[in-house]
Structure 1
Amino acid sequence: MSDSLERSTKINLLKESVVKKLCEVLDKSNTRGWRKLGEIVGNDRRFTVSSDDMELCSLRVLEVEGSPSLMLLRLMGERGCTAGHLIDYLQTLGNTEALHCLKPQVLQILIQPQSVSLICGHNLRLSCHAVGKSAVQYQWFKSKEEVPNSAFPELMISPVSVKDAGFYICRVNSGEVCEFSQWAQVDVLNVGMSYGLSYHSLDGRLKLVMQPQFQHLHVGETLRLECGAVGRPIPRYQWHRNGVPIPNAAQRRLMIPHVMQDHSGRYRCEISSSTDRMWTNEADVVIAPRISVQISGATECSEDDIYALGGGSCEFLLNSIPEQLYATDKVALLIGNLSYQNHPQLKAPMVDVYDLTNLLRQLNFKVVSLLDLTESEMRNAVDEFLLLLHKGVYGLLYYAGHGYENYGNSFMVPVDAPNPYRSANCLCVQSILKLMQEKETDLNVFLLDMCRKRNIHDDNTPNIVLRVTANIVFGYATCQDAEAFELSSTGFTNGVFVKFLKKRLLEDEKITVVLDRVAEDMGQFDATKGKQALEIRSSLSERRALTDPILPSDSASLVHAQSRQWAKAHELPESMCLSFDCGAQIKLGFAAEFSNVLVIYTYIVKKPDDMSFCQAHVTDFSQELDVDPKEMNRETPEETGIYLLSSSLPQHCLYTRLSSLQKLREELVFTVCLQGTFADMDDDHPVHWTTSINIGKPLIARLDLHRAMRRNSCMQTCLMPHSPSHSPCHSPGPEHQLHLCHGPHQVQDYNRLSPQQRYLDVCEHPHGAAGGCGSGSSYYDNLNQCGYELAYDCAGLGVPIEASDDISEVQAVFINSLQLEPQ
């Protein structure tokens, strides 16, 4: 087909695969996407796109799999727009990725160079591999300058020096066709002993090599702190002061000019990549005032003069600084129970646990986040939580699910609790508190997002004697003998408590002050006004805050052992590249949505030239994980139930979500299956290759929470009238089914909802009414018949971008230097 004929093709006659790919590119771009394209077309009188047309396109986001770009292209096609016009518009737009969708892939880059951080003196290797219809030629550039002697797929610099740091790109030619690789940033660290050399890493991948150092400055001087880690992909940095993230401090070097005394504190940096996360040591920064005093009413002396005089007749008053409270460590256990076997199922706990996990990690908490635990799993999880506690630790327990309260004792209901349940089937919060007190923790925080109705089926009155300590805080999502609500929705929303808690949790205030503000916010929420109110119980006598810094105790071996115990439950398998006999290469990657939920994704790294179709999927998982084959190896994360982490995963993969890892008894072994077809084959039947993969026990599976015979120390503090194995169990009565806003058949479809479906229904239901009080009592009347709309604002654990924010500027300078039009 000639170029002129191709340009004259109406865009409504383009191949569906081309249009689909083009829409994906335009939908995801914020600055060079469909909105900007609509503006450009709107300025062309031949194919006028009005503001009403743009509004019609924007409404497509409300539909399942709706695409504003597809609507815009349809409107343009109806008005006679051709492929040639569209190419011109996309060139004006400057979206080269979109342009590539309309051009035949004569040249394709299969392996892109990856950003890397390494130490001065080591070897730098950047790789770029492409295939084309004719011989492929390569040329590497650093910024806009050609790298000498670099006409190869791999760029080697040995040894690398600080001057080699910068941005690199590879130009690939095949005949007259030219493509550019993605930019790769190279960061070279000049490490000396003065930086506090350290190779400590929780899982051995990222390596921390530069630590921030103590600083003593005067008001008005410049604060400079530096840290550094090596690894691939390039690490991402976020500086914290006194446990709170510093805005716009996301570089290796932190510089604050003209410091004031308020800048004093403990500084440290969080370093992360797509798979790793670690912290530097804390560095104390002391900002002293510049003091001038008068001696004998006539002579002035500086602060240095005062020190030289040893005080003398100089009389001055220094500002008294209140004592800084700190923790020896911070540990949080978050449990969200949704999928109850004998009671109404819930939705919000999954979103609530996910959001709080992200926030608490910003406050330097070691977080264990778990979904859908049975009684024995909950007890074993609490035991592991207690192992992380010691003198001076801040311990936080968050629970969302069904619950009840009898005689001042709160009980958390596991997912396998019978109907009706009693205390023997549940975990007593006060029992856990007693065990935490024995650990001599400095702060005990309980956030209980559950009902507190009386359980008429349970007459047991456990006698739990707590020590008198001034370090306990209870935040109840609702008042005594009341229910806690979650907002009924077809999408993802928080429960009422976390909806307001997450807006306040990072505030640098005493924890009771934070909860007071949450209570005030909840009191203004019309949907639950008069039905749910936050209740705070506290014996806290000091100004303890969740933002307090961490100052490890003198027992370094104990701290290290406990850090390893926590890290043991959060180690992801190493990503791997699999090679098959046919010549194809597959990337197998992993991500953690929760401590007991693993995401596996696969994508093609290299496809043989003679293979027309190639795809890899995973199969043959242990029956203990109960994985639905229909929800495995899907083309979008949402299709397999991965909603909260979807924006952080790499694109164009096949995704599989494995939940309930705590049930895994043996090492996780599964099969990776590659299937492909070849152009010279007579039939279309694919050829299969398989390989077996063993990734050990990932995440929480390493702790063997499935074991029934554990210490169960959290149970020993309660007087149980009967053992859990012999507790009464009844099938759900009809009274439990009549008052449900969402029956089990509806909840099963919830995992298949699109994130765009996020509008509230007219009713809302409690975190355990009916099941929550064990009596089958009816729900409150439907709340707020007009409905509320909530934004889908889950805080994601994003995969770090493998380059700085200056990439766009580097790209523009580079293109202009070569005098090339964007492809």
Structure 2
Amino acid sequence: MYKFCEDLDLEELPESVYRELVDELNVNDNWVHLGNYVAQRLELRPGWVKSLEGRGASRGKESPADDLLYQLNIRLCTVGILGDLMEDCGLLRALSTLRETEPLTITRHPNFPSQEVKVSMGKKIQLICEATGLPPPSYTWHHGDSILPNEGGRELTLEITTEDQEGEYRCLVTQVDIEGKIIDQLVSESVYVAVNSTPVVVQCQPSPFVEMKKGKSLVLSCKVKSHPEPIYQWFRDNTKLEMQTSSVLKIDNFDANDEGKYYCYIKNPVSEVCTERATVIMEMPREKATVKIALLIANEDYDHHDRLKTPKNDVGKLAKLLHEIGFKVICFANLNIQQMKNAMTIFSAALSEGAYGLFYFAGHGFKMQESYVLSVDAPKTFLRSDAICESEILSIMMPKDPALLAVILDTCQTVPPKESNPDIHREIPRVNEYRGRKNLRNLIQAYSTSSYRPSYERSSNENGLYVTHLSKFITKDIPVQKVFEEVGRSIDRWFKGKERNQIPMFALTVTKPYRLTDSIYAKNSFLEPSKLDQLLSFPSRKIEISFQQSGITCQVQVSPYLKPFSNIIKLSFDVADDLSVSLYNLVPIEPNNLFRTKINEFWIHNPQRNKGPLAIFIERDGNRVGASALKLMDYVPKILQNL
């Protein structure tokens, strides 16, 4: 029922009611919605509604809504006609200025055929509550005693992502007048949303290897995802542990009788699972290192032999893992034989009594009485003197008496065939003597495969087979010999077919419980870590280059090209769009070590091979307009000066 006569002209409405109506039409541009509907009904010209925005001021109207009501009034629109138009447009709050209040009634409750609905994890459910009344009702959804934010419509869509969403849902329907006062409130019937049970999924396993001091408290834990909450039961060596029925196991005053393999049995209504075993033993005294240093060499782009695909990836992965456990890491790619020996000498200089050293080589190699590694410049038909044997590697590193030295050769261990390389079988090998001056029980030698067997890489895999498995254990807090034991077991379980010919092996003289994860304590050494950091330091730098003949200047950024390798750098030139840059070695180098990656960007391999500065030419439309020189060795890592 209308508050006024339906035939009353709009201009005859009381001023206060008229202003309330204008205010409601101006909210959220409701007048645009009403105006478009009127224009459609009366078939008015396109743009009629848009024109109201600019014409109101010229006619003394305060707002577009004022002008719209004025336009309706001169078209003989009455209170009844306007009310019907606003009702058709759904502008019920504006309509409530003209009509009497209608009582609030819930016409649809958010319940299903039953008061409970079951939903699986990841699925969606829609709850609907509908009500009538004037002023129009607003909706507030509740989950239990909590209001759901940003859910103010009659429909509530729930995507079940956590068990916490289980519970009772209901809707509070409120009727508010124009002045913001609550007229009435009703609460809908509730519906209980139950989340279906989900299988137990172990998200965090107990630590696989734990060493305990006598008298301390052992704590093992696991984290699972499960609905409903599961039951837990811990076991030691398949014996049930009474009172250990939570996700956390705790044993106070640990002693030798508590050693063993622990696991947790977990069960809910739809599944059951056991965690992985945790081996717990009494802790032995821990060793410490004065410094931990690794030298990693990746040779894959051979001049006269098949190119390999994974060594650089293998070194990159190991470098990251070793850095995580405190190693200073030196990485080089594609070194010739002299550079390899220089790199080993640099590495040896960083070792000292109490240091942990790790040397890793990935590339081509062979076996003749002992293991040999090949540099990228090795001739097609090579002799032992063209390679570096393991005893020579050790003779460089062992005299420094590191506390621990691990040498890992990720190469084939096959014998060069006599029919293609007969000379090497007649060659008398050089004997290299190696031994430490004090520490005679510090060496571990690991090989990706055993004597006279191949080592494989797959073109479809990012990493070689050996590093794929080594990376699983190299950061584990376990004795170093156990690292290589676990690598062998892992490969044996995983290899199939011809790859079973690759059988990793290791040998050691180590008798102390060294771990690659051992901590570092400060001690003066021949080459302190800070000095090694200075040798390896390679911050990106911007250098200004002047081409005096043409008056042009530009900037070049010198930065690493392929981390973590120290001997591959990038030069990026910032020049005007109409200019391009070319680089040349003043003294030709074989093989070429300059490569263009894209316009005005280059990478350089082994920049220390450049005899003198780089020649830089700047060109416009194919014509050289300037030349300059760059002393590149002033900006590369200092370690390259000795490589």
Q: TM-score, normalised by structure 1?
A: 0.39
Higher relative contact order (CA 8 A, sep 6+): 1
Which of these two proteins has the greater Rg computed from alpha carbons?
Answer: 2
Q: TM-score, normalised by structure 2?
A: 0.49
